[in-house]
Structure 1
Amino acid sequence: MADSFRISGAGRFSHAKTARFTFDDKPYSGIEGDTLASALLANGVHLVGRSFKYHRPRGILSAGAEEPNALVGIHRDAARKTPNVRATVQELYDGLTAVSQNRWPSLSFDVGAVNDVASPFFSAGFYYKTFMWPKAAWKSLYEPKIREAAGLGVSPDQPDPDHYSARFAHCEVLVLGGGAAGLAAALAAAESGVRVILVDEQAELGGALRFESAARIEGQDGWTWAQGIAARLKAMPNVRVLTRTTAFGYYAQNFVGLTERVTDHLSSPGMDQPRERLWQVRARRVVLATGAIERHMVFADNDRPGIMLASAARTYLNHYGVAVGRNVGVYTANDSAYAAALDLKKAGVNVAAIVDLRDNPSGDLIDQTRAAGIEIHGGRAVVSVGGKLRISSMTVQPRTGGKNQRTIPVDALLMSAGWTPSVHLFSQSRGKVAFNEQVKRFLPGTYAQDCISIGGCNGTDELSTCMDEAYAAGLKAAKDAGGKTAKAAKPKVEADEVWSRGMLGAAPGAEAGTTVKAFVDFQNDVTAKDIRQAVHEGMRSIEHVKRFTTNGMATDQGKTSNMHGLAIAADELSRAIPEVGLTTFRAPYTPVTFGSIVGHARGSLFDPTRRTAMHDWAERNGAAFEDVGQWKRAWYFPRAGEDMHAAVNRECVTVRKTAGLFDASTLGKIEVVGPDAAAFMELLYTNPWQKLDPGRCRYGLMLREDGFIYDDGVVGRLAADRFHVTTTTGGAARVMNHMEDYLQTEFPHLKVWLTSTSEQWAVIAVQGPKSRDIIAPLVEGIDISDAAMPHMSVREGKICGVPTRLFRMSFSGERGFEVNVPADYGETVWEALWAEGQKHGACAYGTEAMHILRAEKGYIIVGQDTDGTVTVNDAGIDWAIGRKKTDFVGIRGMKRPDLVAPGRKQLVGLKTKDPKVVLEEGAQIVADPNQPVPMTMIGHVTSSYWSENCGRSIALALVAGGRDRMGETLHVPMPDRTIEVEVTGTVFFDEKGEHLNG
């Protein structure tokens, strides 16, 4: 189909190549540089979608990110189907395939439109009242149907074949918005020599200069000036310009999230290019130049296709060379719509009439309009429109009412109720907006971060004032960030457009008492009547009105609807707008794809996989692995014909009888160094450290401030000023953060340095009666006899010729050593130890055997035998608290009355009456199995295993008053039976600890 609405000589892409595309399987053509919206309008297509609730016909409302109606699906191939793409920002490329949404069987004939006829039954909040009875129908009928109807587009059903990337960046000045204000601020800052990043969501910089035809800057029209400044900025080495990039979130400490659309505008994107790029930017100073968003007029049937914002019509004409109609009407309460009428008239488009709510509009633009021969109907309102799938006429009457009506044929209607500053990012920064009663706008008020708002988002309308404000802000931002004084001259504005203030709320004809559908929120079908109903039903806060009506809760986040909704609610409540409140602006500013957030983290890269230095050896020797956090850990080492249980039983018995090798590299390791290292350890751990001799180790227990167990591990003192701290595998990062937090905020006077060394050391645990015989031939410079190196000692020397920190310690209850060597030598040293171990009949054992061996000895695992509510006394390890200590993190918390009260759950052992029955971990425990349901649970099983060494099942459990129940029979109810258990101590094997030196 020919571009019948393309205006010859208009727009900025007249010499561009043709781009062919389809919409609902119908072929069309546009030109490169078009958006899908401008290309459809060029082909005379206004009907592009159906509304969510009523399935009303909807057209293109805007020309930017605020678009609530024109949401389409973009289908590149079977796997690349993207729903809810705004046609106003989707750039056209040759071969683009788009489909409309939320309709069946077709866009022009949609069965769902019956909802519009039944709209009296679907008023605001109807779902809160309708789906309450019968109660049983919720799960069987209502919820499935509601979920089926929810949403507009269809989610893709195949894995996304595209890839995404992420970048981190730092700069002194980050400018968000590439319009006239943003360009001026970026230029001023860049000339000062600081690093500048300029961001804009459009394909080209210029902002509102895309449509403003009267602006002249430095002797050029505004758009030409903008392109010259853009080229100048791109050529500067200290400036990064990011177009097609949206700032979607403003977070703490001037951290801003950006999404860059890299290939969505290309017909054949290269496989080496990401589809989108996530930028995470930290800036010294942020300049917000996000502009303002035009509001629509709230009147009867204002959602008909062909009705759009005046600024959008100007954009399609002046930038894309497309007329939105041949006989256009204008409805306004604001001067800027007159500029749209003049531009259309000059392009040869007939402007049927301008309907202005103001009684006597005046000013230069109005004078020019009259001189151009365009009818102006002042003091009048549009009270209805003709047409269904596209507007065909508008009916006008005096705004004060009466029967003096006139119907004017039109094929498009432009509207403008004024401009709303885009304070979304400012609000996200935790800044507080303030309502300006004079101009009826919320403007930036109290700043919470190091940023400044300029231009339209600051309520500055006039271009000349805007440029002065922007240039000054850019200079100051650069100076505050350490830049020098700029030499460039401030851009001079020679011609400008001046806008008036506009109006808020419903227009005459849609006021209280009327039943017309005057839409406030287009996407969610929220009318002025709905908002009034919310007030009548008791909603007093705008947040409650928002949730009751869903106003502002669609994908456009209420960019065009929020202020109208607020004004209507305030009017109905007879209260000032600030008294009703303001809804919260939350990230993201516009929808962000899962792909850009996830980046490479999917499939095998969904979570980083961490492997120890001995991983390859374990893999070669048939290990079965389990995931422990991000680590791959050897779970057990099956031999031919063995299942998991047989392999684990063999490993446990071998460790007790001879020896076993275990990869313990995943333990967290932190170096605590400095003259105050011991004092720091005293404050962070319950144990005493000042008198611990270098070369000795101690079990270390760490609490939270509330007195509950946080982490544990063995700590070796290497020197007076150096400790080697180990943590649980899962606690490595949090313990490091915990230590750093206290060092920086509570104990900054201490001279201590913390270094995470978890990845630097490979750790090989050699456990069992033959452990010393295995390591002895390989150790150099260390006396490992019992007398010279008793249990809980640490020595430094060499093993296999490489440096080692050798710990005499055990998590199995047997004589044991932990060999720490630099990770690069881990596999080599393991193989040497393995060769020695084979001479003594040793085995390799995995995490499952490790768990059983420690449980046989009653050694706890923090996070398994504790749950965040377990105290030192609950766990039965009061011996880990220094008797003379008066201060450490958690000491006051652990003394709280409820933490020392009788009857708390305590860690005990359990033996099933039938020794062959193994309890399920997490199983609940009761005292009386015959009590009525729901039973009173007195505890739960934390660890449960079959112990080949004990010849029976063993378990640990947290039981109320557990230590007072020794020998008592309790019960574990299961779905098929109730299991009797006897309460015992926590040590099941070698109660006297003789094996540690065996």
Structure 2
Amino acid sequence: MTSYRLPNRGRVDHNKTVRFTFDGKSYDGLAGDTLASALLANGVHLMGRSFKYHRPRGVVSAGSDEPNALMGTSRGPGRFEPNTRATIQELRDGLEATSQNRWPSLAFDLGSVNDRLGSLFSAGFYYKTFMWPRAFWDRVYEPIIRNAAGLGVSPTEPDADRYASRFAHTDVLVIGAGPAGLAAALAAGRSGASVMIVDETTECGGSLLSEPSITIDGKPSWNWLAAAITELASLPNVTVMTRTTAIGYYHQNLVGLAQRLTDHLAAPPNGAPRERLWRVRAREVVLAQGALEKPLIFDGNDRPGVMLAGAAQTYLHRYGVKVGDRPAIVTAHDSAWFAAFDLAEAGAKVVAVVDVRPTVDRALTDRARALGIETLLGHTVTSTSGRLRVKSLRVNRLESGKVGAPRSLSCDAVLMCGGWTPSLHLFSHTKGSLSWDDKLKAFLPGKKTEAVHIAGAGRGLWGIAAALNDGATAGAQAARAIGRDASAQAYAAAADRTGRGVTLKELSTDRNPATAKAFIDFQNDVTAKDIRLAVREGMRSIEHVKRYTTNGMATDQGKMSNINGLMIASDALGKEPPQVGLTTFRPPYTPTTFGTFAGYHQGSTFELTRKTPIDPWAEAHGAAFEPVALWRRAWYFPKSGEDMHAAVGRECRATRASVGIFDASTLGKIEVVGPDAVTFMERMYTNAWAKLGVGRCRYGLLLGEDGFIRDDGVIGRLAADRFHVTTTTGGAARVLNMMEDYLQTEWPDLKVWLTSTTEQWAVIALQGPNARKLLEPFVEGLDLSEASFPHMSVATCKVAGFPARLFRVSFTGELGFEVNVPARHGRALWEKLWEAGQQYNICPYGTETMHVLRAEKGYIIVGQDTDGTLTPDDAGLNWAIGKAKPDFVGKRSLSRPDMVAKGRKQLVGLLTDDPKIVLQEGAQIVADPNQPKPMTMLGHVTSAYWSEALGRSIALAVIADGRARDGQTLHIPIPDRTITARVIKNTVFYDPEGKRLSA
């Protein structure tokens, strides 16, 4: 096996060998290698297959913009990851890597037949092909598409790794640790400001790591770099974080960071997290992300061995790897010439430098001649050859804009450079505007929306000296913006490689345009021809072109393809690039693992399980539990030998016969306080609140702007300026967010304060004919008689010596009270009531019994009996709308034609013809069970229970024109039979007169 490793070059450890495998074959690398550099050192260029055509692909870049070298990597059981970028994955002992998107092997992939059929897979082929005949969709098209979809193989085992998360605040956050970022961090750090500087690679330096020949202030660049890192490490106010990618830039200078902690370790410490998500709030941000090298667009530019010239320079200087013995350089920019010089000085026989420009700086051609490199100015590349690795390059002289006679150059690598594009993804996340620079032919940062400074190549400044000085200025400005005394040091760089170039759309070809393939998006196999076809077929917006062709939709998010695609689209449209614009960049900046976002929330902690203060008592007394929103709630309390049905029946009987005790602590509770509290409540809820007396309660109904039911609950007025609002268990956060949104954006003039008190109050519900007798001896200073404390009253008092808010409310139809006490007293009060209630045969009941009891009374549960499309009238709650109110949230929508049209689904009751049959919730309802399939569904069952009080089953359902169907028999098909049931428009099944509320 030929080795392309150069002895004693690069920043890798030549004394430490690392063993790894690729597609089952064992290789040697060095400590400090990436997977990509180690494979290149072993002469391996073929690393993957493209998505659509399954063409052989090799590494193109040396960073996170890599579109081709995506692999599956494994670190043991439960530690397999697809689509790992080989250019980012650090080498470690025992690393197992496998190629993707090929069968049966990488070198011989049967899927490559798609390449031969390329004319059938042009842009938008799926929109045109899979529309006809429609009968083929289910049986033919969909299975094929599903099998072909996706890149890589999903893990099949649970993730064995741990992930962490952390919050941080800093004065200055510097993103990018190249020359601009380092200078910015030094300037800000020296001022005393707290500074965080992050970089996605393994070490700081950026382009300096590929430029060892440059000197900065008289020092070799690597010596200057070492001194800068040492100084930053010595400053206690500066934090340097490598292996950390800034994945998203959000409002008010919040930046998300994904830090890789242990992926590079062969044996991570026990329990150490794999990755950590940082949420960093910075007072000032400096973006020093540099620029991305653009590939050239020519026929065959995707073969293994064709890569970016800057990447070849990185592999040479950083990893000591020569990407080829006989490389050829194709360029439209000066920077690729320096790559040619460095490779020649490292022992490579550079075949030629092919530059599309007719003239370049004479110093470049003179140095090339001195190194024995042929220069072909005013030449273009028309194709490459080679099956699994490039073997030759076809070049032609450009004569008066036309392609001249071809010439073949034998080579084993092609290094291309189409210039550089400022990296503006993170800046775009902030909705900052971009401005087109016609001289640079690039977008630059425009109007800012955040406290941000852009430095170096990110704003179109080329060269080390320019980046250093601009970074120092940005860092000093950021420090001064927060009140620090900071100055910008001036830097000088010798042998600086500034360079200039031209921007091209695509290189000409002398082949048949129908068979030529010049790729723009390497991963998705989007060609220049596809972009032009999209324009011809009517795509005028760059966003439409993107979706029609999938250009820029690969895992690199268009870092390598967007600008080239834009230039070709603008040419095809006959418009200037700024008139066409760029597609939207969205977080995350690079693909990020789900584990990083989940952090600690995995396994048993994936969702927080909230428990009430009374939960331990319920567990000790044998309760079965169910999850409700984020809470664990007692479902029912089975006695020995009881199943759920028997336990719930017993609880229902006991509560209606004497008294039941229920833990209602999970109800959402919001304190609405302020001089304008009444006005706020009038606007938020459908009901009228101005005339509600202090000490009285009212059912409150909350709608969205669309007029549909969002939440409900009982609301008590504690004072002229104070309301105790209850919400559904699952709706607490949603309702508070909705209230805050309106208060802050629609009615900021209102003097109202909102406070979540859900966890501040434990709530004990006593329901049943003996509820008053049980509670009365514990209440101090309050008369609980019917005359003094009627239904829907609220008062502040003491219960068993504990401060309390006492509500006379019922969700069962029985005489009922809800006692709110501070959460720390909840269990103590429960136990006192439980002990005293023994004389009344008190019965604890759970959520299932609560559901049955409320359904017998026709009380709805939002989210179960509503589905986001029911209006108050649909749910039979028109009585809850304040008729004289001028406005409330959702009022205008209630009068829209569709909201009052006939045929809307309405909540009604259902009684099965066979009273013993309990319907299934969610079951569909039809008028005629013998109609052809697919049947016309009238609605569905929302709630269904066995009622002990009625001795039969009951159900609630939403049915089209439900109330008009009173008395009709409808049908509920289930897998083994069809059930018949009668519609009743009155949903109150039990005690319709409500006499028991005052028992």
Does the aligned pair in 1 maintain the 2:624–2:634 contact within 8 Å? yes
2:441 aligned residue: 440
- State which drifts further: 64-73 or 471-480: 471-480
1:994 equivalenced with 2:995 (yes/no): yes
Taking structure 1 as reference, are residues 745 and 366 closer, same or farther at Cα in structure 2, changes over 3 Å only?
same
CA drift of 1:688 comes to 4.1
Does the aligned pair in 2 maintain the 1:772–1:784 contact within 8 Å? yes
Amino acid across the alignment from 1:430: K
CA drift of 1:906 comes to 4.6
Does the aligned pair in 1 maintain the 2:249–2:426 contact within 8 Å? yes
1:770 equivalenced with 2:770 (yes/no): yes
Amino acid across the alignment from 1:949: A
CA drift of 1:939 comes to 5.3
Amino acid across the alignment from 1:64: G
The equivalences for 1:354-433 within 5 A come to 354-400=353-399, 404-433=405-434
Q: Give me the whole-angstrom Cα distance separating, in 2, the residues matched to 1:290 and 1:786.
A: 73
Over residues 68-114 of structure 1, what are the superposed CA-to-partner deviations in whole Å (9 max), with x where a residue is unaligned?
A: 22222212223222222111111112222222223333333333334
2:984 aligned residue: 983
**How large is the RMSD of aligned CA atoms in angstroms?**
2.9
Identity of aligned residues (%): 60
1:476 aligned residue: 477
Over residues 132-162 of structure 1, what are the superposed CA-to-partner deviations in whole Å (9 max), with x where a residue is unaligned?
A: 5554443233322332233332222111100
1:862 equivalenced with 2:862 (yes/no): yes
Secondary structure of the 1:731 match is: helix
Taking structure 1 as reference, are residues 863 and 546 closer, same or farther at Cα in structure 2, changes over 3 Å only?
closer
Secondary structure of the 2:946 match is: strand
1:11 aligned residue: 10
CA drift of 1:232 comes to 2.3
Taking structure 1 as reference, are residues 716 and 27 closer, same or farther at Cα in structure 2, changes over 3 Å only?
same
Does the aligned pair in 1 maintain the 2:965–2:983 contact within 8 Å? no
Amino acid across the alignment from 1:734: R
Secondary structure of the 1:442 match is: strand
2:227 aligned residue: 228
Taking structure 1 as reference, are residues 71 and 660 closer, same or farther at Cα in structure 2, changes over 3 Å only?
same
Taking structure 1 as reference, are residues 914 and 70 closer, same or farther at Cα in structure 2, changes over 3 Å only?
closer
- State which drifts further: 971-980 or 78-87: 971-980
Taking structure 1 as reference, are residues 245 and 545 closer, same or farther at Cα in structure 2, changes over 3 Å only?
same
2:279 aligned residue: 280
Secondary structure of the 2:319 match is: coil
1:170 aligned residue: 169
Taking structure 1 as reference, are residues 985 and 523 closer, same or farther at Cα in structure 2, changes over 3 Å only?
closer
2:23 aligned residue: 24
Amino acid across the alignment from 2:451: D
1:806 aligned residue: 806
CA drift of 1:15 comes to 5.1
Amino acid across the alignment from 2:530: D
CA drift of 1:973 comes to 4.2
Q: Give me the whole-angstrom Cα distance separating, in 2, the residues matched to 1:489 and 1:593.
A: 39
1:710 aligned residue: 710
CA drift of 1:892 comes to 4.5
1:191 aligned residue: 190
Amino acid across the alignment from 1:446: K
Amino acid across the alignment from 2:862: V
Does the aligned pair in 2 maintain the 1:419–1:501 contact within 8 Å? no
CA drift of 1:165 comes to 1.0
1:330 aligned residue: 329
Amino acid across the alignment from 1:308: M
The equivalences for 1:220-299 within 5 A come to 220-299=219-298
Does the aligned pair in 2 maintain the 1:332–1:356 contact within 8 Å? yes
Q: Give me the whole-angstrom Cα distance separating, in 1, the residues matched to 2:930 and 2:298.
A: 69
CA drift of 1:744 comes to 2.6
1:50 aligned residue: 49
1:627 aligned residue: 627
CA drift of 1:489 comes to 2.6
Secondary structure of the 1:489 match is: coil
- State which drifts further: 876-885 or 390-399: 876-885
Does the aligned pair in 1 maintain the 2:472–2:488 contact within 8 Å? no
CA drift of 1:66 comes to 1.3
CA drift of 1:905 comes to 5.0
Q: Give me the whole-angstrom Cα distance separating, in 1, the residues matched to 2:99 and 2:932.
A: 58
TM-score, scaled to structure 1: 0.93
Q: Give me the whole-angstrom Cα distance separating, in 2, the residues matched to 1:386 and 1:491.
A: 46
Amino acid across the alignment from 1:445: G
Q: Give me the whole-angstrom Cα distance separating, in 1, the residues matched to 2:706 and 2:495.
A: 66
Over residues 341-390 of structure 1, what are the superposed CA-to-partner deviations in whole Å (9 max), with x where a residue is unaligned?
A: 11122223222221111112224333333333322111122334343332
2:103 aligned residue: 104
- State which drifts further: 843-852 or 971-980: 971-980
- State which drifts further: 868-877 or 482-491: 868-877
1:526 aligned residue: 526
Q: Give me the whole-angstrom Cα distance separating, in 1, the residues matched to 2:27 and 2:893.
A: 72
Q: Give me the whole-angstrom Cα distance separating, in 2, the residues matched to 1:935 and 1:100.
A: 48
Amino acid across the alignment from 1:827: R
Taking structure 1 as reference, are residues 897 and 572 closer, same or farther at Cα in structure 2, changes over 3 Å only?
closer
Q: Give me the whole-angstrom Cα distance separating, in 1, the residues matched to 2:987 and 2:778.
A: 36
Amino acid across the alignment from 1:620: A
1:516 aligned residue: 516
TM-score, scaled to structure 2: 0.93
1:605 aligned residue: 605
Taking structure 1 as reference, are residues 510 and 201 closer, same or farther at Cα in structure 2, changes over 3 Å only?
farther
2:452 aligned residue: 451
Q: Give me the whole-angstrom Cα distance separating, in 2, the residues matched to 1:398 and 1:950.
A: 95
Secondary structure of the 1:508 match is: coil
Taking structure 1 as reference, are residues 422 and 132 closer, same or farther at Cα in structure 2, changes over 3 Å only?
same
The equivalences for 1:871-882 within 5 A come to 871-882=871-882
Does the aligned pair in 2 maintain the 1:520–1:564 contact within 8 Å? yes
Q: Give me the whole-angstrom Cα distance separating, in 1, the residues matched to 2:141 and 2:932.
A: 34
- State which drifts further: 298-307 or 608-617: 298-307
CA drift of 1:494 comes to 4.2
Secondary structure of the 1:820 match is: strand
Secondary structure of the 1:156 match is: coil
Q: Give me the whole-angstrom Cα distance separating, in 2, the residues matched to 1:574 and 1:874.
A: 55
Secondary structure of the 2:627 match is: strand
Does the aligned pair in 2 maintain the 1:905–1:962 contact within 8 Å? yes
Identify unmatched segments of 5+ residues in structure 1.
none
1:849 aligned residue: 849
Over residues 838-893 of structure 1, what are the superposed CA-to-partner deviations in whole Å (9 max), with x where a residue is unaligned?
A: 22112111112112212222323233333434444444444444566545444454
Taking structure 1 as reference, are residues 674 and 511 closer, same or farther at Cα in structure 2, changes over 3 Å only?
farther
Over residues 600-643 of structure 1, what are the superposed CA-to-partner deviations in whole Å (9 max), with x where a residue is unaligned?
A: 22222221111112222222222222221111112222223322
- State which drifts further: 830-839 or 574-583: 574-583
Amino acid across the alignment from 2:725: V
Does the aligned pair in 1 maintain the 2:247–2:589 contact within 8 Å? yes
- State which drifts further: 30-39 or 670-679: 670-679
Amino acid across the alignment from 2:460: G
CA drift of 1:933 comes to 7.2
1:733 aligned residue: 733
Q: Give me the whole-angstrom Cα distance separating, in 2, the residues matched to 1:903 and 1:320.
A: 71
Amino acid across the alignment from 2:259: E
Does the aligned pair in 1 maintain the 2:403–2:508 contact within 8 Å? no
Taking structure 1 as reference, are residues 274 and 951 closer, same or farther at Cα in structure 2, changes over 3 Å only?
same
Secondary structure of the 1:730 match is: helix
Over residues 159-218 of structure 1, what are the superposed CA-to-partner deviations in whole Å (9 max), with x where a residue is unaligned?
A: 110011112223333222111112222223333433332221111111111112443322
- State which drifts further: 328-337 or 776-785: 776-785
Taking structure 1 as reference, are residues 750 and 953 closer, same or farther at Cα in structure 2, changes over 3 Å only?
same
- State which drifts further: 810-819 or 798-807: 798-807
Secondary structure of the 1:338 match is: helix
Taking structure 1 as reference, are residues 693 and 447 closer, same or farther at Cα in structure 2, changes over 3 Å only?
same
Does the aligned pair in 2 maintain the 1:718–1:794 contact within 8 Å? yes
Taking structure 1 as reference, are residues 418 and 801 closer, same or farther at Cα in structure 2, changes over 3 Å only?
same
1:148 equivalenced with 2:147 (yes/no): yes
Does the aligned pair in 2 maintain the 1:762–1:826 contact within 8 Å? yes
CA drift of 1:690 comes to 4.4
Over residues 730-789 of structure 1, what are the superposed CA-to-partner deviations in whole Å (9 max), with x where a residue is unaligned?
A: 221122122222333344344332221111211111111111222234444444333443
Q: Give me the whole-angstrom Cα distance separating, in 1, the residues matched to 2:395 and 2:633.
A: 76
Taking structure 1 as reference, are residues 934 and 538 closer, same or farther at Cα in structure 2, changes over 3 Å only?
same
CA drift of 1:704 comes to 3.4
Secondary structure of the 1:319 match is: helix
2:468 aligned residue: 467
Q: Give me the whole-angstrom Cα distance separating, in 1, the residues matched to 2:429 and 2:441.
A: 21
